[in-house]
Amino acid sequence: MKAYYVLLPLLSSLSLPLAAQVIQPWSGYAVHDGQRPHPTKVEAKSITTTPAPADADIIFDGTNIDAFTKKWAVKDGSLIATKTGKNSTKKSYGSCQLHLEWKIPAGREISGQKGGNSGVFLMGKYEVQIQESHTNVTYADGQAAALYGQYPPLVNASRPQGEWQSYDITFTAPEYKDGSVIKPATITVIHNGIVVHNAQELKGPTTNKKLAAYPTDHPEKAPLTLQFHGDPIEFRNIWIRELGNYNKKN
C-alpha cells in the first residue's frame, strides 16, 4: 500500500517528460524540447501594416466581424480573443497570402505557454504560434512565430508586450493523390518584416506533444482559424488573398 502512494506521484510526474520524448526525425530534438536552442533575437524596427489589396478578402477591418463564425469582442478597432472559443472564417481557403497584426495586451502576467497565447491556424490545421517571446521564455518550437511543435522561427523578431506585431504569411496547401500526400504544405512567415520561415515544409497538421503526420483525408480548402487559449489577444488588419496558378485566365 505504501509503495502505491510513493509510485503514483512518481508516475504522474514522469508522464509529461515521457510524452515529450517523441523525437522529431527532422530536427533530432524532442517535440517541445526544452533543450532545443532558442533562435537569435533580432530587433524588429517596425511592423508591416499593408492595407488590403483590391483582390483580398477582408477578414477584419477594425469593425466588421461578419467574416467570422464567432462573435469575438471588438474594441477600439481591435478584435479580441474571447471565451466563445476558437474563431474561424465562414469561407474556406487553401493556398493563400495572409496578413494580420496582433498584440498581447500590456500588463498581463505571462509565464511559458500561459498568459499570452493564441495562434493562426492555416486551413484550421497548421499553427503559426502567437506568444509573448520578447522576454518570456518557453520551449523553442512553441515560441512566437514557431510552426508549433515542428520548427522554431529562424530568428526571434518579437516586439514587447503591449506593442502591435505583424505576420505576413504565404501558405501552400498540401497536394494529395489517392489518400496520400504527394506534396507537403509549405509556409513562409515574415514576422515584423523579418523572414522567420522560408518556404518551410510542414510535417503535417499541428499537434501537441506528438509527432505531426499527414492524415489520409485532407480538404482542399478549409477555414482560417484564430486560436483562443484563454488569453485576450488582440487582432487588427486581417486580410487574405487566395493564390492561384500561373497562366490562369480571368
Of the pair 192, 227, the CB lying nearest Mg ion is at 227
| Residue numbers at the binding site for Mg ion (CB under 5 A) | 117, 119, 129, 227
Task: Tally the residues of the chain.
Answer: 250
Of the pair 111, 180, the CB lying nearest Mg ion is at 111
Q: Give me the numbers of helices (H) and strands (E) for the chain, helices first please.
A: 1, 14
Q: Which three cell numbers stand for residue 217?
A: 483525408
Q: How far apart are CA 184 and CA 200, in angstroms?
A: 10
Minimum CB separation of residue 138 from Mg ion in Å reads 10
Of the pair 118, 192, the CB lying nearest Mg ion is at 118
Of the pair 56, 161, the CB lying nearest Mg ion is at 161
DSSP string, 66-121: TTBSS--EEETTEEE--TT--EEEEEEESSEEEEEEEEPPTT---BTTBSS-EEEE
Minimum CB separation of residue 56 from Mg ion in Å reads 24
Q: Torsions phi, psi of 2, nearest 5?
A: -60, -40
Of the pair 39, 119, the CB lying nearest Mg ion is at 119
Minimum CB separation of residue 3 from Mg ion in Å reads 40
Place of cell 517541445: 32
The residue whose Cβ lies closest to Mg ion is 119
Of the pair 38, 114, the CB lying nearest Mg ion is at 114
Of the pair 89, 143, the CB lying nearest Mg ion is at 143
- Sequence-ordered list of residues with C-beta below 8 angstroms from that of 27, at least 6 positions apart, any chain: 36, 151
Minimum CB separation of residue 167 from Mg ion in Å reads 13
The answer to whether the CB of 100 falls within 8 A of the CB of 162 is no
Minimum CB separation of residue 179 from Mg ion in Å reads 29
Work out whether strand 78-80 and strand 126-130 pair parallel, antiparallel, or are unpaired.
unpaired
Minimum CB separation of residue 206 from Mg ion in Å reads 9
Q: How far apart are CA 208 and CA 119, in angstroms?
A: 13
Minimum CB separation of residue 5 from Mg ion in Å reads 36
Q: How far apart are CA 194 and CA 48, in angstroms?
A: 10
Other CB atoms within 10 A of residue 16 CB? 11
